[in-house]
Amino acid sequence: MPRIRTVAAAAALACVAGTALATAPAQAAGSVHIYKVYYDSPGSDRGGNSSLNAEYVQIRNSTGSAFQMKGHTLKDASNHRYTFPSYRISAGKTVKVHTGKGTKSAGHLYMGRSWYVWNNGKDKASLYKPSGALRDSCSYNSTRADYKMC
């Protein structure tokens, strides 16, 4: 019995150590980046507002401090453009930029469009700083998946 307990304890320790090793670099560096593009809204694309809003780009702030998005822009490959209003992403949090109409709230922003932006097969999401410099981009090319983890 004591031997089994020791093995279990050792395994638990190794697990904790592994977790610490895996998360430490991300916490140390971190960035504001495109985390996910949900480009094919579930079900038939009939253009209803809830369907439009199920199409979104999720931005993640993996840094240790809050980040102000105001003035950033998000563009697709055909230059549909969304300019971020004043919105702070808390440290470690994400915000979804929905295609349709809605009211800005914690974790949710809305492009206010009346049709889909992100192509269901192939497209590229690009996030630009207020200066116009590229902050991050995410490309996808598959009709077999509905979203891309960037």
Binding interface with Ca ion (CB under 5 A): 39-41, 45, 55, 116, 118, 120
| 63 versus 120: smaller Cβ distance to Ca ion | 120
Distance CA 137, CA 90 (A): 21
Q: How far is the CB of 114 from Ca ion (least distance, A)?
A: 14
Q: How far is the CB of 119 from Ca ion (least distance, A)?
A: 6
What is the end-to-end Cα distance of the chain in Å, rounded? 46
Closest alpha carbon to 118 in 135, 134, 103, 97: 97
Distance CA 63, CA 85 (A): 20
Residue nearest to Ca ion (CB): 116
Q: How far is the CB of 117 from Ca ion (least distance, A)?
A: 7
Distance CA 143, CA 150 (A): 16
CA torsion angle 27 36 112 67 (round to 10): 10
Q: How far is the CB of 42 from Ca ion (least distance, A)?
A: 6
| 53 versus 62: smaller Cβ distance to Ca ion | 53
| 40 versus 72: smaller Cβ distance to Ca ion | 40
Whether 119 contacts 136, CB under 8 Å: no
| 45 versus 136: smaller Cβ distance to Ca ion | 45
